Every structure is written in structure tokens, then in C-alpha cells.
Amino acid sequence: MSDTTEQALLARIDADRAEIVQFLQDFLRERTPNPPGDTRGAAAFIRRFLDAHGLPHRVVSPHPEMPNIVGTWEGGLPGRHLVLNGHIDVFPVDPDDPRWIVDPWNGDIRGDKIYGRGACDMKAGTTASIFTYAYLYPLRDRLRGKLTLTCVSDEETFGPWGARYLIENEPEVLGDCVLNGEPSSSFTIRFAEKGNLWLRLQVETTGAHGAYIHATRSASKIAMEIAHRLEAVCDIRTPLPNALAKAVADAHEATDIAMGEGAADTVPRITLNVGQIHSGLKVNMIPGFADMELDFRLPPGTTRETVWQKITDILADYPDARLHEIGHAAPSHCDPNGEMVEILQDTVEALQGHRPVPVVSLGGTDARLWRWRNIPAYVYGPFPHGMGGANEHVDVEEFLHIVRTHILAAYRYLSREA
């Protein structure tokens, strides 16, 4: 790093290492599972930090239990508007899951890892956003444009009270570019993501005594049969847009490194996950009802309408079944060779000696909301260790690398002339 300001920023991060790590540990101790989605404690925790450092911010809370924190400061020179985005809600935890080696709400450090629900998804990334906002504030007079911090609720359920509400009602958060710290791995930058289609399938029959299989069809068996047949939807093949096809091909190895072997082959395919099944009352009763929730993931170029047509054709054979849409988010992408990609690549290469590769994400993030408005949004965060499962964690050094990268990348973006 030849820039003296960058060197000073890195020195400050090293000096504040214990404080930054402690912040994440304390952040993890604020329980924010969604559902139910109550993030008031975590929002208050973040506000105490911002207040202590004299950082401008306000609360936007369309739902009383799901506050969002928005802060903005202006640079001393004209320029562009960079938005930092992270969420503060996390996946729920099964309290009876014996696989956890620590209390998932304690933020414990074991060896070189910080454990806890939200450690990688995404309180580490949100912490990087918060410290970026704080570290660059004293430099604002010499920076260009504007920096906005958004710490949002209601991301895990794609609900209406978080980033979606802000984008629709608070023009302050739109900006010219978005930097997000969702899990990605230090080797990849997410510039696109698959969409989703969540469905609820309900089957009703008359039900009967378990020995009287001649009296009624089993709602459970019908639901399982439908789920099996719906796998045919995954055989639909829609070519990726040309701009993405090359990026996906070039990122094959990096995608598998970041998201696990086989991830790269999954990117261009529709996938189906049967997330929940509820049916029956007792082992010796033929179920008269079955309730199943389905999660389809749609690659860029695949439309909701294409999938619905195939699903409708299959359901026509099952008069006892009803289907309802729970939610839908279209696939999204921005320029895989955009300016922020270059800045992130240069920054990571200077810090770690390798250049992260732009990839399409399998999972969804709030970054899609900005991309839908033609605002480039990029994700650079930690590996998804244990994301959504037991023993979720982030490596301490990887976490600090994410913090360094976000601070330096934002500084470089706000130092350039538009």
C-alpha cells in the first residue's frame, strides 16, 4: 500500500483489532432469529456504537419490532454515492440441536474461529459495513461524494420491512453503487444471484383408519408424489444471458471453492428444495391433510412464468391439491467487470496476493433490490461456514480481512473522480 492514508487505515485496524473482534462477539449475543424477526436489541447495540463515535444516523422502523438503521455523511468534494448494506436478522436455531459445540448465541471464540448464529451470515459483513462507515467519517472532508450505511431487518424471510421498504420509501439509500458483506469467500465477488419462487402445496383427502387403505388416498403420499414429479421442473433449460455465460464459465473453479464442490454446475440450473412437510395426526391414521413448502431457485434468464407453466401442467393431475405462492424474487445481475469489482480485486490482491473472481450466487441477498433498479451491487464477505446449520462460524483472520477490504475499497471508490 503506497497511499499513506491507506497505510494509516490499516494501522488503525490493527490497533483496534481486539475492539473489532469484541464488537462482533457482542453483536452475535444479540439474538435476532427471523422468524420471529425481533431485532430491537441488536439495533440498539449498533446505535450505541454509532452514538459513541458521533456518527450521524436515524432509525426507520415501519414495523415496531424490526427497526432499520440508516446513516449518511457527505464528503468534502463532489462525487458519487456509495451505499453499504448489511442485515441484522439471522436464521433461527433449533434449541435441541446437539451438533452445536458452543451456545449459538454466545459469540464464543474457539481456536481461531468465532462461533454463533449469524457469524458468517451476516453479522461479520454488517460489522465490516459499520466500521467502514466509522473509519472513513474522520476523512470525509477529503473524500468525494457521499457514504450511506444501511443496517436492515427482515432479510432472512425476504420480508417487506427491511431493505425493500427503504428502497421504496427512502431515496437516501439508492446511491450509485452498493457494497454488501454477505458470505462469498475471499476468492469470489458476487455480482449476480439466482432468483427464488417459494410455494405452499396443500393436499386434502377424507382420511381414515390406518388399516383402511381402501377408504381414502393418503394426503402424505399424494404430496410426496407431487414433490417427486415437480423435480421435472428442474429439467427446464434456459440459456444464460451472453454477458453472464462467460463469467460463469470463467468462475467455475472459484465457485466450487467458495460454495462447495458441485456449486458451479448448479448455477445455470433450476433447483428444488422441499423445505417443510407437515401431515397426519397419528401413525395408525391415514392423513387427510398434507402441507408442504417448496423452494425453487431460478438462474438468470429463467422467468417465473416459465416455471409456473410446468408446475400447472403437473398439478392438473391432482384435483386434491392446491398451490399458493409464498414469495418470489427474480434473478438479478450487474456488470461482472464493473468498477467496484476492479477496486475489490486490486484491494484483495494487495492484501492477500490473489484476485477474487466475479461469480453468480446460489442464494439470495438484499443486493438484488438495488440491481433491479439498475444500481450495481456487489457482495464480498467471508466463507459460508455452517451458514443456516450447526456451528456457524467465521475465521478471525478472514473476518478482519473482510473489514480491511471494505474499508479500503470504500475509501478508494470515494477518492476517485466521477
Residue with the bigger pLDDT between 246 and 1: it is: 246
Give 59's strand partners: 69
Question: 195-329: which CATH topology?
Answer: Alpha-Beta Plaits (3.30.70)
Q: How far is CA 173 from CA 40, 283, 348, in A?
A: 21, 53, 26
Contact yes or no for 65/170 (Cβ under 8 A): no
Beta strands in 144-288 (DSSP E): 144-152, 177-180, 188-193, 195-204, 208-209, 271-279, 285-286
Mean pLDDT, rounded, for 145-156: 96
In angstroms, the CA 246 to CA 242 distance is 7
SS3 236: coil
What is the phi/psi pair of residue 132, to 5°?
-65, -45
CATH 3.40.630.10 fits 4-193+331-415, yes or no: yes
Q: How confident is the model at residue 157 (pLDDT cuts 50, 70, 90)?
A: confident
CA angle 117, 123, 126 (to 5 degrees): 165
How do residues 37-47 score in pLDDT, each as one tens digit?
999 999 999 99
Rounded-to-integer distance, Cα 112 and Cα 114, Å: 7
What is the pTM assigned to this prediction?
0.93
CA distances from 215 to 207, 278, 280, 284, 290 (A): 8, 22, 16, 14, 17
Report pLDDT digits (tens) over 354-371: 999 999 999 899 999 999
In the beta sheet, which residues pair with residue 60?
68
* C-beta atoms surrounding 208 within 10 Å: 17
- Residue 80 phi/psi, 5° resolution? -100, 170
Report, as an integer, the average pLDDT of 295-317.
94
The residues, ordered by sequence, that sit 6+ positions from 7 with a Cβ below 8 Å of its Cβ are 1
Report which DSSP code applies to 284: T
The mean pLDDT value of the chain amounts to: 95
Q: Are 193 and 359 in contact (CB under 8 A)?
A: no
1 has a pLDDT exceeding 70? no
pLDDT confidence of 417, banded at 50, 70, 90? confident
- Tell me: pLDDT of 2 over 80: no
Nearest residue to 174 (alpha-carbon basis) of 373, 332, 328, 27: 373
Q: Where in the chain is the domain with CATH 3.40.630.10?
A: 4-193+331-415
Instruction: Please count the other Cβ atoms lying within 10 Å of the Cβ belonging to residue 223.
Output: 25
Q: Where are the alpha helices (DSSP H) in 152-218?
A: 163-169
Query: Where in the chain do CATH 3.30.70.360 domains reside?
Result: 195-329
> Rounded CA gap, 271 and 254, in Å?
20
